[in-house]
Amino acid sequence: MLAFRMSSAPTNSTPNPTAPPDAKLRDESASASASRTWQRVQLARHPRRPHSLDYIERLFSNFEELHGDRAFGDDAAIIAGLADFGGLPVAVVAQQKGRDTKQKLHRNFGMPKPEGYRKALRVMKLASKFGLPLISLVDTPGAYPGIDAEERGQAEAIAVNLREMSRLRCPVITVVIGEGGSGGALAMGVGNHNAMLENATYSVISPESCAAIIYRDAKKAQLAAEALKMTAPELLALQLIDDVVAEPGEGAHSDWDAAAGLLRGHLTKVVGELRGRTAEQLIHQRQEKYRRIASFFEEAGA
Amino acid sequence: MSWFSRPKSKVKPLPEEQSERVVRTEGLWFKCDECNEILWKKVFEENLSVCPKCGHHYQISARQRVDLLLDEGWVEQDTNLVSNDPLHFTDSKTYKSRLRMMQEKTGIRDAVICASGKMHGQPVELCSMELQFIGGSMGSVVGEKLARAAERALKGGHPLVVVSASGGARMQEGMVSLMQLAKISSMLATLDDARIPFISILTNPTTGGVTASFAMLGDLNIGEPKALIGFAGPRVIEQTIRQKLPEGFQRAEFLLEHGFLDAVVTRHELKRYVARSLRRLLNKPAPAPEPAAPATA
Ligand SMILES: [Zn+2]
How do residues B253-270 score in pLDDT, each as one tens digit? 999 999 999 999 999 999
Q: How far is CA B77 from CA B116, B120, B128, in A?
A: 7, 20, 12
Q: Which of A164, A186, A213 minimises the CB distance to B178? A: A186
Alpha carbons A98 and A110: distance in angstroms, whole number: 7
Is the pLDDT at A127 greater than 90, yes or no?
A: yes
Asked if the model's pLDDT at residue A9 lies above 50, the reply is no
Distance from CA of A282 to the nearest CA of B (A): 13
Q: How far is CA A191 from CA A15, A174, A194, A215, A242, in A?
A: 19, 6, 6, 35, 10
| CA separation, residue B231 to residues A33, A114, B51, B212, B237 (Å) | 33, 11, 28, 6, 10
What local confidence, expressed as pLDDT, does residue B287 receive? 86
Contact between A291 and B259 using a beta-carbon 8 Å cutoff = no
Q: Please name every residue paired with A194 in a beta bridge, in sequence order, or none if there are none.
A: A174
Nearest CA to B116 out of B172, B80, B69 is that of: B69
Residue B291: per-residue pLDDT: 61
Contact B185, B214 (CB under 8 A): yes
d(CA B203, CA B59): 8
User: For an interface test with A, which of B171, B173, B187, B229 has the most A Cβ atoms less than 10 Å from its Cβ?
Assistant: B171
From residue A154, alpha-carbon distances to A80, A94, B98, B258 in Å are: 18, 17, 31, 12
Of A271, A123, A255, nearest to A195 by C-alpha is: A271
In the CATH hierarchy, which fold is given to the domain comprising B59-281? 2-enoyl-CoA Hydratase; Chain A, domain 1 (3.90.226)
**For chain B, how are helix, strand and coil distributed in percent, rounded to 5?**
40, 20, 40
Instruction: Return the residue in B90, B154, B175, B244 with the most chain A beta carbons within 10 A, the one to mutate for interface testing.
Output: B175
pLDDT grade, residue A258 (50/70/90)? very high
Burial of A285 (0-12, 13-18, 19+ CB in 10 A): middle
Q: Picking from A108-112, A164-168, A170-174, B11-15, which range would have the lowest pLDDT averaged per residue?
A: B11-15
| Domains defined along chain A, listed by start | 30-288 (3.90.226.10)
What 3-state class would DSSP assign to B166?
strand
Distance from CA of B88 to the nearest CA of A (A): 7
Mean pLDDT of chain A: 90
Say if CB B232 and CB A158 are below 8 A apart.
no
Query: How near does any CA of chain B get to the CA of A13, in Å?
Result: 10
> Between chains, do B216 and A146 touch, taking CB under 8 Å as contact?
no
Looking at per-residue confidence, does B289 or A177 come out higher?
A177
ipTM of the complex: 0.89
Query: What pLDDT score does A31 carry?
Result: 59
pLDDT of residue A287: 98
Q: Which of these ranges, A8-12, A179-183, A270-274, A296-300, has the smallest mean pLDDT?
A: A8-12
In this model, does residue A25 exceed pLDDT 70? no
The pLDDT tens digits of the residues spanning A40-76 come to 999 999 999 999 999 999 999 999 999 999 999 999 9
Q: What is the pLDDT of residue A1?
A: 29
Per-residue pLDDT of chain B in tens (297 residues, 90 and over written 9): 333 344 444 444 444 444 444 555 557 898 999 999 999 999 999 999 999 999 999 999 999 999 999 999 999 999 999 999 999 999 889 999 999 999 999 999 999 999 999 999 999 999 999 999 999 999 999 999 999 999 999 999 999 999 999 999 999 999 999 999 999 999 999 999 999 999 999 999 999 999 999 999 999 999 999 999 999 989 889 888 888 899 999 999 999 999 999 999 999 999 999 999 999 999 999 987 766 666 655
- For residue A248, what pLDDT band results from cuts at 50, 70 and 90? very high
Q: How far is the CA of B270 from the CAs of A56, B251, B266, in angstroms?
A: 50, 18, 6
User: A145 and B147 in contact by Cβ < 8 A?
Assistant: no
Structure confidence by residue, pLDDT tens digits, B73-131: 999 999 999 999 999 999 889 999 999 999 999 999 999 999 999 999 999 999 999 99
Q: At what angle do helices A154-165 and B174-193 cross, to 10 degrees?
A: 70
Residue A114 distance to chain B (closest CA, Å): 11
A160:B180 CB<8 A: no
Whether the predicted pLDDT of A12 surpasses 90: no
3-class SS shares of chain A: helix, strand, coil, % to 5: 45, 20, 35
Q: Give the start-to-end residue ranges of the domains of chain B.
A: 59-281
Taken in order A8, B183, B126, B201, the sign of the CA dihedral is: positive
Task: Please indicate whether, in this complex, the C-beta atoms of B84 and A297 are within 8 angstroms of each other.
Answer: yes
Q: How confident is the model at residue A35 (pLDDT cuts 50, 70, 90)?
A: confident
pTM confidence score: 0.89
